[in-house]
A and B are shown apart, each in its own frame.
Chain A
Amino acid sequence: MTESALGQSGTHSRRVMRSSLALARGLGAAHSGVTHWWVQRLTAVALVPLSLWFIVAMLHLLGAGQPEVARWLQHPINAVLLLCLILASFQHMQLGLQVIIEDYVHNKLTQLATLLVMKAITLLLALSAIIAALKLAFSQ
């Protein structure tokens, strides 16, 4: 193939082979937008009673020592509600922080890196909270 033929087929393929769909891909929500929105609302609704319960529980535990906290979490209802609060708030927080990062970090590569770091930290925090809560709940 001559050089000019190569160059020509290059321009040719760029003009003809790339569909409009290929150009639009990656710019929108790629079908995950509704789920993101919906899960953020569901967790928000769940967090209204859970947060109010948590504030009352913290007032109840003010100044408590470690044994009292453990005894509190050994009650199954408290353990279940605390786990619900942990799951709902970290999921809600992760979705919210994602929107903020997507709003302010414009460079695609930096944005991806920031999102991955944020999601990794969220996962580590959530797992730490869950393991700690379970350990206390099952302690004697």
Chain B
Amino acid sequence: MDDIREALMLGRQSDGKPVRRPLSPHLQVYRPQITSVLSIMHRFSGMALAAGTLLLVAWLVAAASSPAAFARVQGFIASPIGWLLLFGWTAALYFHLLNGIRHLAWDLGCGFEKPEYHRSGWMVVIATAVLTVLTWIVGLAIW
């Protein structure tokens, strides 16, 4: 036993045979809910934003190096893969930002009632979609 939490996973079958019980909540049989889905999405979007910093650093370093290096990075960003990454980054940023505000409200002790956190969760989903699409409409209009 190298993890102390395994002590909680010991169980016995009806014939007395010891078994290793699954970690709770057992995700394979746990019905996805807005609360749990947004919770893991916060983690995924945080990781996506972490990956996105690579693009930001490449963009800045290229701009500081030479106009030719900058043109190469701009070319990558304007390619189909670049667009896809940029779209994903926009959505991840809006989601993480909005759901992050939800987290900060909880830290202040607000929004803990069941109808409240269900409503705020769906508001985050809708606002993420609206802001992402709006940003891209504005962006494509300027481009």
Contact = CB atoms under 8 A, between A and B. Distances in A.
Contacts of A139: 64
Nearest to A72: B63
Interface in A49-73: 51-52, 55, 59, 62-63, 65-67, 69-70
A106 B49 contact: no
Query: Which 10 residue pairs are nearest across A and B when measured between Cβ atoms?
Result: A132-B64, A66-B70, A132-B60, A66-B67, A135-B64, A132-B61, A69-B63, A129-B57, A93-B50, A96-B46
Contacts of A84: none
Interface in A89-140: 89-90, 93, 96-97, 100, 106-107, 125, 128-129, 131-133, 135-136, 139
A68 to B, nearest CB: 10
B53 A63 contact: no
Interface string A24-66: 0000000000000000010011011001100100010011011
B97 A51 contact: yes
B63 A136 contact: yes
Contacts of B142: 59, 62-63
A107 B103 CA distance: 29
Contacts of B110: none
Interface of A: 41, 44-45, 47-48, 51-52, 55, 59, 62-63, 65-67, 69-70, 89-90, 93, 96-97, 100, 106-107, 125, 128-129, 131-133, 135-136, 139
Contacts of B67: 65-67
A131 B64 contact: yes
A106 B2 contact: yes
Interface string B50-87: 10011011001101101100110010000000000000
Contacts of A66: 63, 66-67, 70-71
B139 interface: yes
Given A55-B93, A59-B138, A44 B104 contact: yes
B1 to A, nearest CB: 12
B107 interface: yes
